[in-house]
A and B are shown apart, each in its own frame.
Chain A
Amino acid sequence: MNLTLKNIVRFVLFFVLQVLVLNQIEIGTGAQIMIYPLFIFLLPVELNVIFLMAIGFALGICIDAMSNTYGLHASSLLTMAYLRPAIFRIFAPRDGYDALLETNLYTMGSKWFVKTFGILLLVHHFWFFMLEMFKLNEVLYVFQKTGLSALISFLISVFLQFLFLRKPKRNEA
């Protein structure tokens, strides 16, 4: 499938899944499942950070409009999109990224995925809950929410990749 078309379809699917399904699930103790950061994470590596931020902002605003948060999701997703190239640079493999491969769990290996996606997801969730509470004396509660939500979101993001992404065939030459 065409790369652009594939990502547009993904955009819509992530949006619908987040707004109509995951936003309705309540786990308790303030945890909230947010899997849309995975969409930004899976965008092509060589994509300019300006496009990354624009797409992140757009997706965030769409989710905000459907959950009465007026810019909260947009702001946190924007932060994550802005930091993605830097994190990718720090954890780059020795011979650089393969521009043709998508940076998912299968192509890059689980160790790399846990490190990069873990950090970006934590940043996103922390930013989100910090803005939502916006009080220094509730900072422990923010940490609790961030930790629990990030853990659950991470597991679901991994699970989604197991479900929908195919393992690339090893070319034994």
Chain B
Amino acid sequence: MLLLFVLLQGLALSMYFTFLTFPRSQYMTTASYISGHAFEFTNNITQYLHLKKNNTALQKENVRLRSKLPQNLLQLDREYITINDTLHRIQYEYLPARVINSTHSKRNNYFTIDIGSSQRVERGMGVISSKGVIGVIQNVSENFAVVRTCLTEKVRIAAMIESTGEHGFIDWKGENSKYGTLSGISNDSKIKKWDAIVTRGSAGMFPQGIPIGKIVSSIIIEGKPLWDITLLFAENFRTVQRVYVVKNQLSREQAQLEAHHQSTNTQ
């Protein structure tokens, strides 16, 4: 009796802790076939609850993008020539997705989205919304993917303060879904309230400069030359429904180069 208890308990706990540290398998997550379809079904019913708010957010983004269209710009030079641009090349693509399941009040919170490997989603890609950063893809199945959001312990998204360029990592203390923390900023530098925190773009997950949040308060960590910065997230994780998965076309090149560099350094 006690033996069975210990045995089953050991099974459950080992599952919990291995999944937490090496989230490889997708069978026991919401990316699996059955739960993915179940959540898609319920989301089809409940998505109308936040429809108004989401439409406003998308409309705002449309306005911003529309203002950048060439037809809206005043032409200053009448005799322009079209140039086939060879200096710029598209590096980031955005795959639109819908959030079909989400949590916000647990210690580690995940979103399930309705696109997967058949839509070219891969593990480790960044996820953003129209307002800011959401998280990183953790598990992918054929038609669904699980996103590790900013509301997890150790989400480790590289971020920087936009005005100074000082960079650190995003973290979450697990209490309020509105506030996160930024760690690793040296306390030599001055911190201004309401400075924007944006992505650093160093790991190739996100382009540089995607908003994450704004600085609300900063305290010096005792015994360390670092600031403990609290930030207000740009996105409200409770109501977000439409997200984009960021596909970096050069990520493989960067990873290969960095791996090569590391292996040659250690030799």
Contacts and interface: CB of A to CB of B under 8 A. Distances in A.
Interface of A: 19-20, 23-24, 26-28, 30-32, 49-50, 53-54, 57, 60-61, 64-72, 74-75, 78-79, 82, 131-133, 138, 141
B8 A70 contact: no
A75 B9 contact: yes
Tier of interface size on chain B: 35 or more
A17 to B, nearest CB: 12
A38 B29 CA distance: 24
Contacts of B28: 61, 64-65, 70-71
A9 to B, nearest CB: 18
A72 B175 contact: no
A96 B255 CA distance: 68
The secondary-structure label for the interface of chain A is: helix
A67 B107 CA distance: 13
Contact of A68 (B34, B110, B238): B110
A145 to B, nearest CB: 9
Contact of B107 (A19, A26, A65, A133): A133
A87 B103 CA distance: 33
Given A49-B1, A50-B4, A131 B104 contact: no
A70 B15 contact: yes
B4 A71 contact: no
Given A57-B8, A70-B19, A70-B20, A133 B174 contact: yes
B119 interface: no
Q: Which of A31, A60, A75 has the most CB of B within 10 A?
A: A75
Given A54-B8, A68-B110, A70-B28, 6 more contacts: A65-B32, A67-B103, A68-B29, A70-B16, A72-B12, A72-B16
A170 B104 CA distance: 47
Contacts of B174: 30, 133, 138, 141
B105 A32 contact: yes
B136 interface: no
